């Protein structure tokens, strides 16, 4: 079909297109661009093909493996971490009936698929059919029925079928219908009917390009003749627009697609034309093939694949040399003045003076004009008002002024000497305005000062008839315009800069730095902040027809459903979902301006207009696409060093196997700030924590036990998508049950052994105690026996002195009248001395007896032997005198013995008494000496010598006392002497008499 009749219209259309494209080169692009390449996480720059799976992941076939992209993070699949991937050079990836099919090698027919847990595995069913063609930008074409019917003859259809798999000049209508060029002929293939039809109209024509739009095939030859086919039949009713035809005329082709100057590419639903950096979307409208410009004048080269999302106006571009591009159409318009001074476009108060024309402090911005030139200095920034009388009231330098909407006749109304900060109009038509802390009212031509307060007045609004609400630098006030009374409403520490009465009558307050509030029956209910705390400053409230608030801040623009805020205010503490827009959506700065009246306005055509640090941001709120994060949540367990993904749920992990790493992902290609992923591990605590921006969750130090990781993603107010994964951390060997059982058994054995040991020890101790008690009893018995014997000896020792006293008393009694006085005096003196010595003896004995109350105890002390012997001599001297004996103390004065004094005295007394008994008219000598560490005490008498058998019996302790012999003395003496570690010997000093020697070993003690 020729188009030479339309040369002039085509030329005009071409000029118009070129003008638009050249104009686009001088203006700012109307889309944002993000490029991912090998410099920022993409493993390799060559993307051969792309496809989205049913969960929203974007799959990229690259020269270094497959890549799964969730909008923020790339997950790599290569031969190292995915054994099923037999080569890293991947050519084809397709989305077929909800699943991903991969063909890594070129025409290898070894197909792979993706499992539900996102592992790669061989797809034996898809690989089993050898009669399939997998070409870039086309679906897989199956021709097994055709080959079965025609394949036996390789020359049929000019040898089309044998080389069909490698034929690059083919386009597919679907997986069973295709158009294929072979040499100078073009064929229509329908595998459903095994039909191969020659397109006779194109026979012999020099081929230029062929592509599909929907189910329609377009064929251009080098004479720029267009042939259109549907179901293999020529469609004469479908034509091409002039501007598009001109592009095709300029197209040049070659043996390979990379040599084409105009390339036709496809995704699953769209066909694109890439021409001189422009990406065009081909459409058939009313039988005419035309295009829409998706992206003009891009710098993207070597495009291999395109995918277009119409809902969110997003274009995904895969290239052969520079990675992945994501182009997103701007949904916000920026109006700005031409000029170098940044202050010109830092705008505040605004009013629409006519459709599309907005008055600002720098002049008028016209959305229908490509260039807006400023007229600064005429209007102050803070306040503008288009009043009900049709005039515009504004602050001009130092005065309140009025001007018509044509901006031709300014009229000064009142001088202030400074800027006005607020201007508003009451329902009566009165003007209310303020310059700082002073509030004025203008009624007609009369001006009245209503208030003068120390706080700065920042915003005013007649909230109810005759009730003016005043936002100040120190809280919120209410002023009664009739009574002239002022009362504080609240928020004394807040800088109130925004007041808004919603369509349902609710009142909302915005502050600078203290968040925003809902006013409800005298209460200020603070609303929750966004995750970035950017809503601490809310410049104004813009309510759309869908029930949403649009909240400009110093760090971007937020949209929130008003019903969510109302629900939160009523006590439902679910997380409010704030949808965030930043400058990538079409404006040049995230910082919006506020503190002016009015801040945001609604234009007559429904556009919202907001002032920013760089121009006005305008948009139609009802037409802004909102890309909610509604894809599922996925949890991958990874080995980061190997970039390997391990099997997921219900696994086991050793405590010493290093950190546990999870990759959290949820496909989302919108603004990352709107993807709110949180995790919780109930076994550790009940808190929800945000997932890191890199999506990695690294867990260390987990003790043995069962754990569950919960991931949630907020999709709206109180709506979440969840996923979970559970695992078990294995105990150390010493924490296992069998080890505990073993420990219990060993512990019981040890306890039993210890018990038996303690029991045996206690039995032994009881026996020892019993033995000790017996010994103590025996010792006590022996001690008591010794005491008794000592008492017996003492009584025995007392007998002689008492007998002497008795004799002397009788003698005195009989002779006290006859005897001479000197004799009587001597006798009385002896009587006194004897009784004195006897008294001392009994006193000493009583002291010793009291000291032995707890048993018989040896009490050693230093004994001066001479003094001790002297006391004994003094005691027995009267008795000796009766027998005409002489007691002699021959102990050296310096000699000292360490022993028990009472026992020693008892022994010596007894021996002296015995000597006195058996000696008459003789001498009894008590002596002591020290020699070779021994002290010898001797009692020598001149009386009758003891019989040798008696001496032997005494010394051998076989002597049995009787009343007629030496009494009980020697047996007791020997026992007591043994107690004080002494020895007794008896010999004769001569032919008559006895010598008894007491021997004591002094050791290191010295006798003096």
Percent of the residues in the chain that have a pLDDT greater than 90, as a whole number: 63
**Rounded to 5 degrees, what angle do the CA atoms 122, 128, 132 make?**
105
Q: What is the pLDDT of residues 40-52, one digit of tens each?
A: 889 889 999 999 9
Whether residue 830 is predicted with pLDDT greater than 80 in this model: the reply is no
Its pTM stands at 0.73
Q: Which residue has the tokens 């890199």?
A: 694
Burial 147-163 (b: 16+ CB within 10 A, else e): bebbeeeeeebeebbee
The phi, psi pair for 468, rounded to 5°, reads -100, 125
d(CA 839, CA 832): 10
Return the axis-axis angle of helices 969-979 and 901-917, rounded to nearest 10°: 150
509 pLDDT band, cuts 50/70/90, is very high
Total number of residues shown for the chain: 1008
Q: Which CATH architecture has domain 4-329?
A: 7 Propeller (2.130)
Q: Is the pLDDT of residue 309 over 80?
A: yes
pLDDT at residue 15 is higher than 60: no
CA–CA distances in Å: residue 682 to residues 632, 679, 687, 706, 761: 21, 10, 8, 10, 53
Under the banding of pLDDT at 50, 70 and 90, the label for residue 524 is: very high
Q: Is the pLDDT of residue 515 over 90?
A: yes
Reading the block at residue 301, the tokens are 């080269």
In tens, the pLDDT along 196-223 reads 999 999 998 988 899 999 999 999 999 9
pLDDT at 342: 84
Half-sphere exposure of 761 (CA within 13 A, CB side): 6
Q: Tell me the average pLDDT of the chain.
A: 88
The beta strands (E) that lie in 416-503 are given as 422-425, 431-434, 438-443, 446-452, 457-464, 467-472, 475-480, 486-490, 496-501
Reply yes or no on whether the pLDDT at 379 is more than 80: yes
Q: How far apart are CA 853 and CA 855, in angstroms?
A: 6
Virtual torsion, Cα 268, 273, 278, 280, nearest 10 deg = -60
pLDDT for 627 equals: 94
Name which CATH class applies to 634-730.
Answer: mainly beta
Task: For the chain, give every domain's residue range.
Answer: 4-329, 498-595, 634-730, 778-1001
Which pLDDT value is given to residue 380? 84
pLDDT surpassing 80 at residue 11: no
| Domain 4-329 shares a fold with domain 498-595 | no
Residue 674 in contact with residue 632, Cβ under 8 Å? no
- Structural fold of domain 498-595: N-terminal domain of TfIIb (2.20.25)
**What band does 841 get if pLDDT is binned at 50, 70 and 90?**
low
Q: Does domain 778-1001 have CATH number 3.30.565.10?
A: yes
The answer to whether 511 touches 538, Cβ cutoff 8 Å, is: yes
Residue 291: predicted pLDDT: 96
Q: What residues contact 388, with CB distance under 8 A and at least 6 apart?
A: 425, 429
Position 780 pLDDT exceeds 80? no
Q: Lowest mean pLDDT of 362-376, 380-394, 636-650, 679-693, name the range.
A: 636-650
């Amino acid at each position: 079909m020729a188009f030479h009749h339309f040369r002039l219209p085509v030329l005009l259309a071409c000029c118009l297109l070129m003008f638009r494209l050249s104009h686009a080169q001088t203006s700012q692009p109307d889309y944002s661009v993000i490029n991912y390449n090998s410099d920022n996480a993409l493993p390799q720059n060559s993307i051969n093909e792309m496809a989205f799976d049913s969960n929203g992941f974007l799959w990229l076939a690259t020269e270094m493996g497959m890549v799964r992209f969730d909008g923020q993070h790339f997950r790599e699949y290569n031969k190292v971490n995915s054994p099923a991937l037999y080569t890293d050079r991947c050519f084809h990836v397709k989305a077929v009936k909800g699943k991903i099919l991969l063909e890594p090698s070129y025409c290898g027919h070894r197909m792979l698929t993706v499992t539900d847990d996102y592992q790669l595995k061989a797809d034996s069913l898809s690989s089993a059919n050898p009669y399939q063609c997998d070409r870039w930008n086309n679906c897989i074409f199956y021709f097994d029925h055709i080959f079965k019917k025609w394949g036996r003859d390789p020359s049929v259809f000019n040898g089309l079928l044998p080389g069909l798999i490698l034929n690059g000049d083919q386009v597919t209508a679907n997986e069973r219908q295709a158009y294929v060029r072979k040499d100078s002929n073009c064929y229509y293939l329908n595998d459903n009917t095994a039909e191969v039809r020659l397109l006779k109209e194109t026979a012999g024509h020099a081929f230029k390009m062929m592509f599909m739009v929907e189910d329609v095939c377009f064929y251009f030859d080098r004479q720029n003749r267009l042939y259109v086919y549907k179901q293999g039949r020529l469609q004469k009713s479908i034509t091409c627009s002039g501007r598009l035809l001109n592009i095709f005329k300029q197209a040049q082709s070659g043996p390979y697609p990379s040599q084409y100057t105009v390339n036709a590419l496809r995704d699953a639903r769209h066909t694109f034309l890439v021409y001189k950096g422009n990406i065009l979307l081909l459409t058939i409208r009313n039988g005419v093939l035309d295009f829409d410009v998706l992206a003009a004048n891009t710098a993207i080269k070597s495009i291999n694949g395109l995918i277009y999302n119409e809902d969110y106006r997003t274009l995904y571009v895969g290239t052969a040399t520079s990675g992945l591009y994501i182009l997103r159409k701007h949904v916000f318009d920026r109006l700005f003045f031409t000029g170098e001074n940044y202050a010109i476009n830092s705008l505040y108060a605004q009013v629409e003076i006519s459709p599309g024309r907005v008055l600002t402090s720098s002049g008028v911005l016209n959305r229908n004009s490509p260039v807006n030139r400023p007229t600064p200095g005429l209007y102050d920034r803070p306040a503008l008002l288009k009043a009900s009388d049709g005039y515009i009231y504004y602050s001009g330098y130092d005065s309140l002024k009025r001007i018509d909407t044509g901006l031709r006749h300014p009229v000064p109304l009142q001088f202030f000497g400074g800027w006005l900060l607020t201007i508003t109009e009451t329902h009566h038509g009165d003007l209310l305005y303020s310059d700082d802390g002073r509030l004025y009212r203008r009624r007609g031509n009369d001006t009245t000062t209503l208030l003068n307060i120390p706080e700065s007045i920042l915003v005013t609004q007649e909230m109810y008839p005759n009730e003016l609400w005043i936002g100040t630098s120190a809280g919120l006030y209410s002023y009664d315009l009739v009574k002239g009374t002022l009362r504080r409403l609240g928020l004394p520490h807040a800088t109130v800069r925004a007041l808004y009465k919603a369509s349902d009558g609710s009142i909302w307050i915005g502050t600078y730095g203290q968040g925003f509030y809902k006013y409800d029956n005298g209460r200020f209910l603070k609303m929750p902040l966004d995750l970035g705390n950017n809503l601490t400053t809310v410049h104004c409230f813009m309510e759309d027809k869908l029930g949403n608030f649009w909240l400009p801040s110093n760090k971007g623009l937020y949209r929130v459903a008003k019903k969510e805020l109302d629900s939160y205010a009523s006590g439902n503490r679910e997380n409010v979902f704030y949808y965030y827009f930043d400058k990538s959506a079409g404006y040049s700065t995230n910082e919006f301006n506020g503190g002016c009246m009015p801040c945001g306005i609604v234009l007559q055509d429904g556009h919202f207009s907001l002032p920013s640090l760089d121009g006005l941001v305008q948009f139609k709120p009802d037409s802004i696409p909102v890309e909610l994060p509604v894809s599922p949540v996925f949890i991958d367990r990874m080995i980061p060093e190997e970039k390997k993904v391990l099997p997921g749920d219900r696994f086991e992990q050793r405590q010493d196997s290093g950190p546990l790493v999870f990759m959290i992902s949820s496909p989302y290609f919108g603004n990352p700030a709107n993807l709110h992923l949180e995790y919780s591990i109930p076994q550790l605590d009940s808190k929800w924590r945000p997932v890191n921006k890199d999506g990695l969750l690294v867990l260390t130090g987990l003790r043995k036990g069962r754990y569950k990781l919960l991931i949630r993603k907020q999709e709206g107010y109180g709506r979440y998508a969840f996923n979970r994964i559970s695992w078990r951390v294995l105990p150390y060997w010493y924490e296992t049950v069998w080890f505990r059982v073993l420990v219990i058994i060993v512990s019981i054995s040890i306890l039993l052994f210890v018990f038996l040991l303690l029991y045996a020890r206690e039995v032994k101790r009881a026996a020892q105690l019993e033995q000790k008690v017996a010994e103590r009893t025996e010792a006590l018995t022996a001690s008591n026996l010794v005491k008794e014997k000592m008492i017996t000896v003492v009584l025995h020792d007392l007998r002689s002195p008492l007998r002497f006293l008795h004799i002397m008393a009788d003698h005195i009694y009989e002779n006290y009248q006859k005897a001479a006085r000197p004799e009587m005096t001597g006798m009385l003196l002896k009587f006194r001395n004897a009784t004195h010595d006897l008294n001392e003896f009994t006193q000493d004995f009583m002291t010793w007896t009291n000291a032995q109350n707890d048993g018989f105890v040896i009490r050693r002390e230093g004994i001066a032997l001479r003094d001790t012997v002297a006391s004994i001599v003094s005691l027995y001297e009267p008795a000796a005198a009766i027998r005409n004996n002489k007691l002699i103390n021959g102990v050296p004065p310096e000699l000292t013995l360490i022993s028990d004094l009472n026992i020693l005295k008892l022994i010596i007394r007894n021996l002296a008494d015995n000597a006195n008994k058996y000696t008459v008219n003789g001498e009894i000598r008590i002596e002591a000496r020290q020699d070779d560490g021994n002290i010898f005490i001797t009692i020598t008498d001149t009386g009758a010598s003891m019989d040798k058998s008696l001496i032997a019996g005494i010394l051998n302790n076989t002597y049995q006392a009787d009343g007629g012999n030496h009494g009980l003395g020697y047996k007791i003496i020997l026992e007591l002497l043994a107690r004080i570690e002494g020895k007794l010997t008896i010999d004769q000093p001569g032919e008559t008499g006895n010598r008894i020697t007491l021997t004591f070993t002094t050791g290191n003690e010295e006798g003096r």
